Amino acid sequence: MKAIRVQTAGGPEVLQVEDVPIPEAATGQAVVKLEAIGVNFIDVYYRTGLYKTQLPFTPGQEGAGTVTAVGEGVTAVAVGDRVAYTGVQGSYAEYQAVPADRLVKLPREISTREGAAAMLQGMTAQYLTMSTFPLRRGETCLVHAAAGGVGLLLCQIAKLKGATVIGTVSTEEKAALAREAGADHVIRYTEQDFEAEVKRITGGKGVDVVYDSVGKTTFDKSLNCLRKRGMMVLFGQSSGSVPPFDLTLLNTKGSLFITRPSLFAYIAERRELEERANEVLGWVRDGKLKLRIGATFPLAQAGEAHRALEGRKTTGKVLLVP
């Protein structure tokens, strides 16, 4: 089968197609023939070496397809089931052997492309708004990169919960998408001072929570956008890592809270994985959550997909198709 392999950390050019054996299902595993593969910013961090893994490796943390084999002890899924998963590295391939307890069966109404588009970014938007800072009706949140993969889903779920959403984006096209996803206010943070805009919009009070995935370029000002005792949810670093920071600032800026969460700590238990996946897939099935698949690339063009994602050229979800 074809798989993308990374021999040394580096730029998008290190994502090379190789022929490798189709994996077999070990005890507790199922082999999935992939029909759609999710591309996520975390794949960039592993490719560049910001996040460490053993070399060589096959990138990818998300996929959906059909089960073609099951190993000993697997009863929850069977050959022929349509499934999706996240958090198991190696999905940039035609087949992947996945621990069966990480698989979620897809409802009939949901395609494998939608499944691959919903798992990682959908459950992220879900846990950030339901668990990390459970948004309540009437509260206001600031969502950076609001037209991105996580961003468009965060805007929609925050609106489902009755919050006011302020989104930031870099272009007018992205602004239109963020508005469509429910953002009440959209700031072009590459041209406008988002801190001043947030203060203007909130009448000087500040927002209850900032969902910040951009990191280096937004972090400092994001803290200034919070109300007293507000929460900074730093969940990514698309612009670079936030340097070490003085915790005393949380005191002087108004008794703030800060957290740096990861999806994988919120779906480590099977029960939590099922609850979050079922809620997200249910919203998609019921038309409450719209998935925007902004771009699809053939598997062999994984490098192009990364260039587009890192180059801020994408909106919504990016998929690879084997």
Binding-site ranges for ligand NDP (CB under 6 A): 40-42, 120-121, 124, 145, 147-151, 169-170, 174, 213-214, 217, 235-239, 261-263, 309-310, 312, 314
Report the run of H or E that residue 80 belongs to, with start and end: none
Identify whether the C-beta of residue 133 lies closer than 8 Å to the C-beta of residue 161: no
Distance CA 233, CA 238 (A): 14
Closest to ligand NDP by CB, 23 or 122 = 122
Output the smallest distance, CB 21 to ligand NDP, in A. Answer: 30
Output the smallest distance, CB 176 to ligand NDP, in A. Answer: 12
Strands 257-259, 207-212: pairing is: unpaired
Closest to ligand NDP by CB, 41 or 283 = 41
Closest to ligand NDP by CB, 66 or 170 = 170
Neighbour count for residue 229 (Cβ, 10 Å): 10
Q: What is the largest CA-CA distance in the chain?
A: 61
Closest to ligand NDP by CB, 31 or 154 = 154
Output the smallest distance, CB 89 to ligand NDP, in A. Answer: 14
Closest to ligand NDP by CB, 23 or 63 = 63
Burial 36-53 (b: 16+ CB within 10 A, else e): bbbbbbbbbbbbeeeeee
Output the smallest distance, CB 104 to ligand NDP, in A. Answer: 17
Closest to ligand NDP by CB, 95 or 235 = 235
Distance CA 22, CA 70 (A): 13
Closest CA to 164 of 134, 185, 146, 150: 185
Distance CA 67, CA 97 (A): 10
Closest to ligand NDP by CB, 42 or 106 = 42
Closest to ligand NDP by CB, 92 or 95 = 92
Output the smallest distance, CB 241 to ligand NDP, in A. Answer: 10
For 84, 110, 126, the CA distances from 101, given in Å and listed in that order, are 11, 20, 20
| C-alpha angle 132-134-139 in degrees, rounded to nearest 5 | 125
Output the smallest distance, CB 144 to ligand NDP, in A. Answer: 7
Output the smallest distance, CB 63 to ligand NDP, in A. Answer: 15
Identify whether the C-beta of residue 143 lies closer than 8 Å to the C-beta of residue 155: yes
Output the smallest distance, CB 127 to ligand NDP, in A. Answer: 7
Identify whether the C-beta of residue 166 lies closer than 8 Å to the C-beta of residue 201: yes
